[in-house]
Structure 1
Amino acid sequence: MDDHQRNLPSQVAGDRASLTGFLQYQRETLAWKCSGLSVEQLRERAVPPSALSLLGLVRHMAEVERSWFRNVVSGEGTQPHWPRLTPDRSPAFDVDSADPDEAFRIWEEECARSRATVDAAASLDTTVPWQDEVFSLRYVLTHMIEEYARHNGHADLLRERLDGSTGE
């Protein structure tokens, strides 16, 4: 893997800076795991029969960012970038003809919107109703860190399988 820049979160920051710092670090980790690979490598389902690929993870995380920050936190009601054609499979993982440049552009745009949404919120205790539930911004940030961390574990395995690269 190339020397992709990742910024370590502060070890002494307050809650908001800690949560946003760890989330950004996880985003940078996914970008790092995808760096320096060919289109074919990004699309490769490296552990059959799983549909997981690095490109699929990027597309999935773009949808997760959109869903949680634009739909849940901001109440926008946006539609998926890659609409579901069948109820049993996420189209984000259908990458055989997917364009990596498009996927990374959409993901980066969603991450920027998410950061702006968090920056505009008055407090981590800000709550939003969503489908008979209520979520605080603190919960959403914590969930997003967990979501990225889990998928970055997948990315570690996929990347090692593709070219032997390892690293946290």
Structure 2
Amino acid sequence: MPIEPHSVRAGVDGLCAALDPLAYPARMRALAAWVRAVVRDEDRGGSPLRPFLDELDARGTYERRLAGIAAAVGRDVAFLEARLTDPDPVVRGHALQASLRLPIGDAALERAMDDAPAAVRRKIADVVVAGGRADHTRRAADRARTGGMG
């Protein structure tokens, strides 16, 4: 059953209103619980997570950052892969951190290094090494040093 655009908007509005008064730890717990509920509904043929992520991502900086966290909790690999090159370092950081736990593709990590500044290439290389991606560790280290394609 497709989701009506107003229900996605309303769902995100409700989420943001519920999170607003909470302190950071409680906000993150509430966000994770919300994502798990959406994913649980999806498993039963209900609302998929992606429209909610897209709605959050289309809003301001705060909501885009929530989308990155929600995508990691909801295991939306494609959404996270697309955020590996995000200009917001917090959004990009959530995607990089998620690559330690989720099957973020090596090719996506390599593409993220192509035009990245040296500091970002080093962070990606650190994640590749920390994630034990042995096949890509040398190439990532080379790219971090040289700034080019490995």
TM-score (norm 2): 0.26
Bigger fraction of residues in helix: 2
Bigger fraction of residues in strand: 1
Q: Which structure would you say has the larger RCO, counting Cα contacts within 8 Å and 6 or more residues apart?
A: 1
